């Protein structure tokens, strides 16, 4: 029983850290991706104008900037993919904990041990609220990752 409570405590610590750090990191990456998307579109427009006016120095400059922006978007996408995997693992751990607590509660009710059933129920509610936070963060991560995929396709970087 002691090992289970230690595991639960470390899991809660991981979730709290995730809630603070991961959410902030994901949100910041999402904002940066949105800004990069605007820069990509502006650079692409500038490159088209430069090509139309045969302004070769500007063409070279925008090519470099487009390459940099595309590389940064790839880094963001990679980071978001990693965050998504971490969050999926946390979701799986929480789901398993909730299932275990549900079985304990059910068994305690069968044995008429209402105190144990109440404790299991309260812990299960705590895990459900943590699961909701992790799930929301995971959903935001997937949304931002999708946006970076779209931003990368929004500008025809491959034809530089």
| Predicted pLDDT at 3 | 46
Residue 8 has pLDDT above 70, yes or no: no
pLDDT mean across residues, the chain: 75
**Element (DSSP H or E) covering residue 1:** none
Cβ atoms within 10 Å of 145's Cβ, excluding its own: 22
Q: Which two tokens stand for residue 42?
A: 């502006």
Residue 12 has pLDDT above 60, yes or no: yes
Q: Is 119 exposed, middle or buried (0-12, 13-18, 19+ CB in 10 A)?
A: middle
Going by C-beta distance under 8 Å and a sequence separation of 6 or more, which residues neighbour residue 154? 37, 40, 41
Rounded CA separation 62/1 (Å): 62
Rounded CA separation 43/67 (Å): 10
Tell me the percentage of the chain whose pLDDT exceeds 70: 76
Residue 98 has pLDDT above 80, yes or no: yes
| Predicted pLDDT at 92 | 87
pTM beyond 0.75:
no
What does the radius of gyration of the chain's CA atoms come to, in whole angstroms?
A: 24
């Amino acid at each position: 029983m002691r090992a289970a409570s230690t595991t639960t405590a470390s899991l809660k610590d991981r979730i709290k850290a995730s809630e603070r750090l991961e959410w902030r990191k994901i949100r910041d990456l999402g904002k940066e991706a949105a800004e990069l998307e605007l820069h990509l579109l502006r650079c692409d427009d500038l490159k088209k104008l430069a090509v139309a006016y045969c302004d070769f120095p500007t063409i070279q400059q925008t090519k470099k900037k487009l390459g940099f922006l595309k590389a940064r978007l790839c880094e963001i996408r990679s980071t978001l993919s990693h965050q998504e995997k971490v969050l999926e693992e946390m979701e799986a751990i929480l789901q398993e904990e909730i299932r275990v607590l549900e079985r304990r509660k059910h068994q305690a009710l069968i044995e008429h041990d209402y105190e144990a059933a109440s404790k299991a129920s309260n812990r299960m509610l705590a895990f459900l609220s943590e699961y909701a936070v992790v799930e929301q963060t995971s959903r935001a991560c997937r949304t931002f990752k999708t946006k970076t995929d779209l931003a990368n396709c929004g500008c025809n970087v491959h034809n530089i």
